[in-house]
């Protein structure tokens, strides 16, 4: 019996050291938690690193980011209250959050457009998915991903429903769709114009009129945040020239005036 | 009658052939799964190396090993204690507890994750979480792993205790040994094989736990990132080769632990306990 107790004690002490060794020294419960759309992982990871090492971060704040689909982030925040900041792929989700008095008005960071992505088929074949084409598709679900919602709005809900029924795969995030196309699981998928930056083999085409739908990426602070000052510091960094350059490097266009109006809404 | 020539011998050969085909086919499928990861990782060797070199992945490796060992130890003690109680004593509600202990095995992992999150963040227990910082932190990983691991330990240990019940232990008690003495000096030493099996199952489950960890602990890079979460994050950023490389790393670690368990159980526990090899 003593040997069991001894071995257990040793194992627990050793594993405690392993856990402590594994944890970053600069991260913990004081970190600002950002809930971020999965499709924005590229620029936001860079923003996180740039902010943590910038002079603007005089207090030595650390940033933790949770990447999921925007509706999932909303559910997660409602259940657990986790999160200080929200970065959503489409301002529509910010409106939902603002209307339900969960977060303040968003500060716009950039914009992107829906497009079709493909690797091996021609542009013409890719565009054929809009007319019952013979190519296989991976499409985002409108209730889970901002891109799905955007494309459904452009082509019409009924048409998109038909496209979803004919699709080989339907996914929860744009990155999952891009992974399917990049790996050759399907021929064509719907994504943002910025998505191919993450996948070296992806090509994209913007179908006619699709560029009329602008997806505004924005950042809001949750009302429930206990670290509002710190969250605002990171938000300001995101919207600063340094932050905007990072978004531009990832293919985002500068935000439009209409989105900037949202930012001027009164804050609680 | 000589079985090697009769009709029963033909039947035996057919029976053996079916078993061998099943074993070969399934082994081939398992090897193909590993091979698929090797193939994908091999297509982008630089990407694989870059992924494995990341500080976050190395942190995830140590965190995975640390939390899985921690939760295995807790699961072993808790599961063994409850298994012994339910196996040896009959009391009001013991069947209900027996049923309850099996629940985590049958529940979808996400149900455990969301239930833990609601319990710690939506009920009066939230003060406990505010005080001890469990949700979206390392303790959340250990709690999620322990819930499932304990159920597996319980099932394995109870089956063993049920076999022992009322034999040597009964004799020891009639000779004046206390229940504690019987448990620590007879029951536990006679259950070494089951303990090793429980450790292996609980650790394997904990090491590969994903759903509850993703929901209850989140997927914060470098903070609550265990290896299965790393695979999810790499896939989400489009790094398939990196995800395959982490999968191979997990397979390698699991294989090493499996070999260690086999080696330990054969050479030490089994021979000492006197069980057949």
> Domain locations in chain B?
1-43, 45-273
Do A98 and A230 have their domain in common? yes
Query: How many inter-chain contacts (A to B, CB under 8 Å) are there?
Result: 108
Q: What is the CATH number of the domain that holds A178?
A: 3.40.190.10
Q: How distant is the alpha carbon of residue B27 from its chain centre?
A: 21
Are the beta carbons of B223 and A23 separated by less than 8 Å? yes
State yes or no: pLDDT of B112 exceeds 90. Answer: yes
Other Cβ atoms closer than 10 A to B257:
17
H helices of chain B, in order, are 7-43, 45-53, 55-88, 94-106, 109-122, 126-132, 138-164, 168-174, 179-182, 188-190, 192-208, 211-216, 227-236, 240-264, 271-273
Using the Cα atoms of residue A146, residue A151, residue A153 and residue A154 in order, give the sign of their dihedral.
positive
Do A108 and A118 have their domain in common? no
d(CA B59, CA B56): 5
Residue A8 included in any domain: no
Overall number of domains in chain A: 2
Per-residue pLDDT band for A55 (boundaries 50, 70, 90) equals confident
Distance from CA of A137 to the nearest CA of B (A): 17
Would you say B206 and B143 are in contact if contact means Cβ atoms under 8 Å apart? no
Residue A12 included in any domain: no
Percent of chain B surpassing pLDDT 70: 92
H helices of A192-267, in order, are 228-239, 241-249, 257-263
Using the Cα atoms of residue B7, residue B9, residue B10 and residue B11 in order, give the sign of their dihedral.
positive
Residues 6+ apart with CB under 8 A from A67: A36, A37, A38, A40, A41, A44, B219, B233, B236
* Average model confidence (pLDDT) across chain B: 85
Residue with the two structure tokens 């979480």 = B129
Do A97 and A151 have their domain in common? no
Within a 13 Å sphere around the CA of B47, how many CA atoms are in the beta-carbon half? 18
> Residue A186 region, left (φ>0) first, then alpha (ψ -120 to 50), else beta?
beta
Would you say A96 and A230 are in contact if contact means Cβ atoms under 8 Å apart? no
Residue A4 included in any domain: no
Return the pLDDT at B32: 92
Per-residue pLDDT band for B121 (boundaries 50, 70, 90) equals confident
Closest-CA residue to A64 (of A259, A231, A260) = A231
Residue A105 included in any domain: yes
Return the pLDDT at B68: 94
Residue A11 included in any domain: no
Do A187 and A132 have their domain in common? yes
Q: How distant is the alpha carbon of residue B224 from its chain centre?
A: 20
Q: Which of A64-73, A244-253, B151-160 has the lowest mean pLDDT?
A: A64-73
Last residue of a domain, one of A212, A229, A249: A212
Burial A38-60 (b: 16+ CB within 10 A, else e): bbbbbbbbbbbebbbeeeebeee
Residue A56 included in any domain: yes
Distance from CA of A174 to the nearest CA of B (A): 9
Per-residue pLDDT band for A133 (boundaries 50, 70, 90) equals low
d(CA B262, CA B242): 30
Return the pLDDT at A99: 77
Do A104 and A120 have their domain in common? no
d(CA A171, CA A176): 6
State yes or no: pLDDT of A263 exceeds 80. Answer: no
State yes or no: pLDDT of A258 exceeds 90. Answer: no
Are the beta carbons of B121 and A81 separated by less than 8 Å? yes
Domain that holds residue A125: 114-212
Closest-CA residue to A179 (of A123, A88, A114, A117) = A117
Does the complex come out with an ipTM higher than 0.85? no
Q: pLDDT tens across A155-179, in order?
A: 888 888 888 888 888 888 888 899 8
Return the pLDDT at B221: 82
Residue A142 included in any domain: yes
Residue B198, Cβ density class (10 Å: 0-12 exposed, 13-18 middle, ≥19 buried): buried
Q: Pull the structure tokens for residue B50.
A: 């870059």
Return the pLDDT at B273: 45
Shortest CA distance from A41: residue in chain B: B237
Q: What H or E segment, with its residue span, contains residue A224? A: none
CA angle B133, B136, B140 (to 5 degrees): 75
Do A156 and A203 have their domain in common? yes
Do A108 and A120 have their domain in common? no
Do A118 and A191 have their domain in common? yes
Candidates B149, B223, B234, B235: best to mutate against A (most CBs of A within 10 A) is B223
Q: Which of A231-240, B31-40, B47-56, B127-136 has the lowest mean pLDDT?
A: B47-56
Give the CATH class of B45-273: mainly alpha
A-facing residues of B in 161-190 (CB < 8 A) are 184-185, 188
């Amino acid at each position: 019996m003593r040997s069991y107790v001894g071995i257990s004690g040793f194992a627990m002490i050793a594993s405690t050291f392993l856990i402590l060794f594994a944890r970053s020294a600069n991260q913990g419960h004081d970190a600002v938690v950002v809930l971020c759309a999965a499709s924005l992982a590229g620029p936001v990871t860079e923003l996180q690193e740039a902010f943590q090492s910038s002079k603007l971060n005089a207090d030595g704040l650390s940033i933790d980011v949770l990447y999921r689909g925007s509706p999932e982030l909303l559910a997660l925040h409602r259940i657990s209250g986790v999160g200080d900041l929200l970065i959503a792929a489409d301002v529509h989700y910010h409106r939902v959050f603002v209307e339900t008095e969960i977060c303040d008005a968003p500060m716009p960071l950039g914009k992107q457009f829906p497009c079709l992505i493909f690797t091996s088929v021609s542009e013409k074949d890719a565009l054929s998915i809009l007319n019952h084409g013979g190519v296989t598709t991976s499409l985002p679900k409108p209730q889970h991903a901002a891109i799905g919602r955007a494309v459904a709005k452009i082509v019409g809900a009924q048409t998109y429903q038909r496209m979803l029924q004919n699709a080989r795969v339907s996914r929860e995030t744009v990155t999952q769709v891009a992974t399917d196309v990049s790996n050759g699981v399907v021929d064509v998928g719907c994504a943002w114009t910025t998505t191919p930056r993450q996948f070296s083999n992806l090509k994209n085409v913007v179908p006619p009129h699709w560029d009329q739908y602008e997806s505004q990426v924005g950042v809001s602070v949750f009302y429930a945040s206990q670290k509002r000052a710190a969250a605002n510091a990171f938000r300001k960094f995101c919207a600063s020239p340094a932050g905007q350059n990072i978004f531009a490097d990832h293919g985002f266009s500068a935000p439009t005036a209409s989105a900037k109006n949202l930012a001027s809404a009164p804050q609680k | 009658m000589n079985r090697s020539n009769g009709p029963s011998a033909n039947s035996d050969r057919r029976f053996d052939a079916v078993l061998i085909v099943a074993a070969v086919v399934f082994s081939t499928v398992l090897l193909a799964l590993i091979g698929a990861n090797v193939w994908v990782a091999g297509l982008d060797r630089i990407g694989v190396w870059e992924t494995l070199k990341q500080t976050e992945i190395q942190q995830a490796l140590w965190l995975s090993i640390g939390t899985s060992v921690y939760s295995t130890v807790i699961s072993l003690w808790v599961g063994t204690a409850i298994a012994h109680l339910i196996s040896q004593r009959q009391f009001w509600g013991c069947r209900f507890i027996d049923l309850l202990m099996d629940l985590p095995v049958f529940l979808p992992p996400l149900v455990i994750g969301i239930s833990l999150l609601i319990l710690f963040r939506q009920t009066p227990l939230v003060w406990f979480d505010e005080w001890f910082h469990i949700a979206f932190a390392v303790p959340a990983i250990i709690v999620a792993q322990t819930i499932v691991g304990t159920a597996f330990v319980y099932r394995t240990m109870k089956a063993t205790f049920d076999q022992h019940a009322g034999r040597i232990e009964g004799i020891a008690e009639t000779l004046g040994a206390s229940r504690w003495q019987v448990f620590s000096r007879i029951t536990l030493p006679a259950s070494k094989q089951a303990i090793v099996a429980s450790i292996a199952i609980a650790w394997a489950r904990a090491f590969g736990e994903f759903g509850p960890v993703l929901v209850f602990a989140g997927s914060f890079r470098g903070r609550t990132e265990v290896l299965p979460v790393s695979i999810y994050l790499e896939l989400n950023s489009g790094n398939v080769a990196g995800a395959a490389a982490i999968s191979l790393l997990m397979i390698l670690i699991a294989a090493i632990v499996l070999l260690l368990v086999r080696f330990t159980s054969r050479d030490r526990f089994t021979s000492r306990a006197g069980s057949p090899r």
